[in-house]
Chain A
Amino acid sequence: MNKIETKNLNLYYGTFHALKGITMSVKANTVTALIGPSGCGKSTYLRLFNRMNDLIPGVKIEGDVLLDEKDIYNNKGMRIDELRKKVGMVFQKPNPFPKSIFENVAYGLRVNGMNHASFVEERVETSLKQAALWDEVKDKLKKSAFALSGGQQQRLCIARALAIEPSVLLMDEPASALDPISTAKIEDLIYELKNKYTIIIVTHNMQQAGRVSDKTAFFYLGDLIEYNDTNIIFTNPTDPNTQSYVTGRFG
């Protein structure tokens, strides 16, 4: 069964045709990397799955976007807040709230009405452990999240996303602002999280796509040029444009 699927998906920003007839499916518990030059549509595609594009004026979406085989756009029973509980997101720059480490992770639980103290404490600990951050912060949970390093803040944001137990995690260049050690921790984390979550990651780092993903999709000018096993994309891609891009000879 496909966890996520788009069928003949077209997206327009006003008159600009940003995604052109994208048909693609993602299996559960896999990591899929979206690659391509800036402006190719990969972040737009990523944001489809938690309906982040809805906030942009003039957006028009045609086609089907399915989560667990249910359409998330043409579905009157689908509430956006319910969707975003199932689909978490981590952004390029760490964006912790101006709150304590504990309250950052507890935030999603509280806004969803889960306030029971022992339940919240347990979920915060579990999420921080899943994000490989617990050992570093367990003695300073009441300190400001801003006291953490950039890499720790990003793992905190991952813990915050995990706290509401989504099944899909969207990551938009989650390590591009981090040093190599923090990047390695995030990549190891992605590898671990794959067991429980379906992950889609946008990255400009080809080696990172190679290291973390099972499948890679190459986008160019709004088209999905090639979607294949990552090892095929990086050893013997089918499309000449993919080969030019991954070998750094594009344009």
Chain B
Amino acid sequence: MTHLDVELKRLKDEIVEMFELVTQQMKKSQLAFIGFDREIAREVNFNEKRVNALELKIDKDCENIFALFNPVAIDLRFVLAVLKINSNLERIGDIADGISRYVIGTGNPFDKELIDITRVNEMFVMAVQMLSDVQKAFDSEDTKIARGIFQKDDLLDEINENANSVIENYIRSHEGNISQSLHIISAIRKLERTGDQVKNVAEEIIFFLEAKVLKHVSEK
């Protein structure tokens, strides 16, 4: 194993740790939001600092590898991909934190009917599933799994697109729950963006392994 191999392995371990941390954050924000658990929400809020610190550490390690080892070919693509994946994962961490803050800042538990009709829990389940799949794709260097992510994002898009009319109808009959409704629609928007971030990660995995750039390409 060359010195560079050792450094790349260390970087891979760190980004896998980032995947796990952010997936945990998303799972906990689901528990906090759906179960209206402020304790868990505060935990997510606290752990956001760990996500940020790990992001900075990975950024620094990528910078060092560029400066000290001048990686080329697949090594270069790997470090470039890790740098971008790191940024995407950190944003997903921000999203989990943001959703948890709605729980901390809201007076009463969310109306169960509102949770059900907006399908927000389905979005959480799919976001966590996509995160898990994309980590598996990265870990096992499997572009087939990475490509599977793109279809899964369709569900998040569909729920997001329908959310406006669903919530509009709900507010008409529940005028006292406007604040809650706004929090739910905000969470839905954030979960839809999570899907986009995971798709970006999948694109970076394909770039790393196949040297193909899928950004801004409609057919993937």
List residues 200-214 of chain A with CB under 8 A from any CB of chain B: 206-207, 210
Taking the closest CB of chain A, its distance from the CB of B15, in whole angstroms, is 19
Task: Decide yes or no whether A75 CB sits under 8 A from chain B.
Answer: no
Closest to B80 in A: A235
**In the complex, per-residue mask of B1-36: 1 if CB is within 8 Å of any chain A CB, else 0:** 010110000000000000000000000000000000
Taking the closest CB of chain A, its distance from the CB of B103, in whole angstroms, is 46
A51 to B96, CA, bound (A): 69
| CB atoms of B2 and A243 under 8 A apart | no
Task: Decide yes or no whether A166 CB sits under 8 A from chain B.
Answer: no
| CB atoms of B73 and A247 under 8 A apart | yes
A206 to B76, CA, bound (A): 13
A236 CB contacts on chain B under 8 angstroms: 73, 77, 211
How many residues from A make CB contacts under 8 Å with B? 12
Known: A206-B70, A207-B70. A249 touches B2 (CB 8 A): yes
Closest to B2 in A: A248
Query: How many residues of B sit at the interface, in one of the four size bands?
Result: 10 to 19
**In the complex, per-residue mask of A49-64: 1 if CB is within 8 Å of any chain B CB, else 0:** 0000000000000000
| CB atoms of B72 and A206 under 8 A apart | yes
**In the complex, per-residue mask of B195-211: 1 if CB is within 8 Å of any chain A CB, else 0:** 00000000000000001
A247 to B73, CA, bound (A): 7
Closest to B212 in A: A236
A248 to B75, CA, bound (A): 10
Task: Decide yes or no whether B98 CB sits under 8 A from chain A.
Answer: no
**In the complex, per-residue mask of A209-251: 1 if CB is within 8 Å of any chain B CB, else 0:** 0100000000000000000000000111100000100111100
| CB atoms of A247 and B70 under 8 A apart | no
Closest to B4 in A: A248
List residues 41-79 of chain B with CB under 8 A from any CB of chain A: 70-77
A207 CB contacts on chain B under 8 angstroms: 70
A236 to B210, CA, bound (A): 9
A235 CB contacts on chain B under 8 angstroms: 72-73, 76-77, 211
A125 to B5, CA, bound (A): 50
| CB atoms of B74 and A243 under 8 A apart | yes
A236 to B73, CA, bound (A): 5
A18 to B80, CA, bound (A): 38
| CB atoms of B72 and A234 under 8 A apart | yes
Taking the closest CB of chain B, its distance from the CB of A246, in whole angstroms, is 5
| CB atoms of B211 and A247 under 8 A apart | no
Give 17 CB contacts A-B under 8 Å. A206-B72, A207-B70, A235-B76, A235-B77, A236-B77, A236-B211, A243-B73, A243-B74, A246-B73, A247-B4, A247-B71, A247-B72, A247-B73, A247-B74, A247-B75, A248-B4, A249-B2
Question: 12 other contacts beyond A207-B70, A248-B4, A249-B5, with CB at 8 A cut-off?
Answer: A206-B70, A210-B72, A234-B76, A235-B76, A235-B77, A236-B211, A237-B73, A243-B73, A246-B72, A247-B73, A247-B74, A247-B75
